[in-house]
Amino acid sequence: MKSYRFLIYLIVFPLLMILLYFGGMIGYAWITDYRPEPQEEVMLYGSGSADAVADTLTVLSWNIGYAGLGAESDFFYDGGKTVRMPQPVVEKNLNGIESKLKEFRDSVDVMFIQEVDREAKRSWGVDQFARIKDILPGFSGACATNYLVKYIPIPFGEPMGKVNAGLSTFSRFTPTQSTRYSFEGNYDWPTYLFFLDRCFLVQRVPTANGKELVLINTHNSAYDDGSLKKAQMEQMKAVLLAEYAKGNYVIVGGDWNQYPAGFTGVPGFEIEQTEENARFFVPLIYPDAGWVWAWDPASPTNRELKAAFNEKTTPRVVIDYFLLSPNVELLEVKTSNENFKYSDHNPVKMRVALKE
């Protein structure tokens, strides 16, 4: 009888401890859950050096992968094993990212940057927004939070811990307004407690003709079946059409986590749009006729993270690009192929002209 009871304790006690642990983590996550309003004003740091918006301007978009997803990295949530890269590797990546941004800063007017950590275990607590702002004199900066979790308990044995991150826009102009728009919808409970609260950051800049230049930095959902992306695109559509109806110039850029319309893959990694995978492509006509998707078909912008980057075998796609309202003319768009040295994304640069 005693041995029977001991066996029960041996089985039940560990199970009870596991349940208490995860129950406690879920309870703590629910109490401390980040619950942003549908629209919130975002603090602007510094001021731009440009007096007015020129007829032509250059815009950069780059998901820097919190400096933790360079060429040597894999990631557990994408099928790899790594949760956090060693501190010297993260610092090497951040130094490389800063070096590239310094190269771009003299030729770029606006930078849309995604996955910028403010304070996170995965990037060793460094305020990357502050670091980047320091190397961009003459640029205003704003950061919209889209990932704020006090403690992420997965993976078991090596938890991700705290994450405070967002998407940042740096500009030579001084916006009159910077607003965070929450994307509606999320994963089911309790999963959403530990995932991103997706958003897009809208900034307004006056132009000489009385119109506004509306700059939108976006980072749409990943790891979903396409339904969240579809809902987010519908929500953004209403904002885009309303702004254009006012006569404003609209430029959207970022990591869409979707293929551009007409994408057929990159050499060696072809993708055919089918009825089954159509939900992972943006619509050809969006949000209305006359709007232009601006992307570079010659180079990939994102790589798979199941393993460290291999130039011959690692699958690559395009998911980082721009959308332009009909009164903005595309002059050039080009991906800077960095071979994913510092991030799992390559930066994309675009030059446009504002029409009268």
- Joined together, the tokens standing for residue 342 give 């510092």
Across 196-214, average pLDDT: 95
Enter the DSSP assignment of 171. Answer: E
Is residue 117's pLDDT more than 90?
A: yes
* pTM assigned to the model: 0.93
Is residue 201's pLDDT more than 70?
A: yes
Distance of alpha carbon 33 from alpha carbon 26, whole angstroms: 10
In percent, the amount of the chain with pLDDT more than 90 equals 76
**Number of C-beta neighbours around residue 288 at 10 A:** 12
Cis-peptide, bond into residue 300, ω within 30° of zero: no
Across 98-120, average pLDDT: 97
148 versus 6: the higher-pLDDT residue is 148
The pLDDT of residue 28 is 62
Q: How far apart are the first and last CA of the chain?
A: 89
The pLDDT of residue 185 is 75
The pLDDT of residue 18 is 62
Distance of alpha carbon 129 from alpha carbon 112, whole angstroms: 12
The pLDDT confidence band at residue 24, using thresholds 50, 70 and 90, is low
**Number of C-beta neighbours around residue 51 at 10 A:** 10
The pLDDT of residue 311 is 94
Across 341-356, average pLDDT: 96
- 142-186 pLDDT, tens per residue? 999 999 999 888 887 888 989 999 999 999 999 999 999 999 877
Is residue 6's pLDDT more than 60?
A: no
The pLDDT of residue 19 is 67
The pLDDT of residue 72 is 97
Q: Which amino acid is at 19?
A: L
The pLDDT of residue 260 is 97
The pLDDT of residue 130 is 98
Asked if residue 311 lies in contact with residue 252, where contact means CB atoms within 8 angstroms, the answer is no
Asked if residue 301 lies in contact with residue 335, where contact means CB atoms within 8 angstroms, the answer is yes
- 236-249 pLDDT, tens per residue? 999 999 999 999 99
Q: Which amino acid is at 78?
A: D
Asked if residue 170 lies in contact with residue 141, where contact means CB atoms within 8 angstroms, the answer is yes
Q: Which amino acid is at 230?
A: K
Average pLDDT, the chain: 91
Q: Which amino acid is at 113?
A: I
The CA-based angle 327-324-203, given to 5 degrees, is 95
The pLDDT of residue 196 is 77
Distance of alpha carbon 73 from alpha carbon 109, whole angstroms: 31
**Number of C-beta neighbours around residue 297 at 10 A:** 14
**What values do phi and psi take at 163, rounded to 5?**
-135, 130
Q: Produce one character per residue of 177-204: b if its CB has 16 or more CB atoms within 10 Å, e if not.
A: ebbbbbbebbeeeeeebbbbbbbbbbbb
- 208-238 pLDDT, tens per residue? 999 999 999 999 999 888 899 999 999 999 9
**DSSP line for 184-228:** S--PPTTGGGGS---EEEEEEEE-TTS-EEEEEEEE---SS-SHH
The pLDDT of residue 328 is 98
Across 329-338, average pLDDT: 97
- 247-298 pLDDT, tens per residue? 999 999 999 999 999 999 988 899 989 988 899 999 999 999 999 999 999 9
For 333-336, the CB contacts below 8 A with 24+ separation are: 333/294, 333/295, 333/296, 334/296, 334/298, 334/299, 335/296, 335/298, 335/299, 335/300, 335/301, 336/100, 336/299
3-state secondary structure of 294: strand
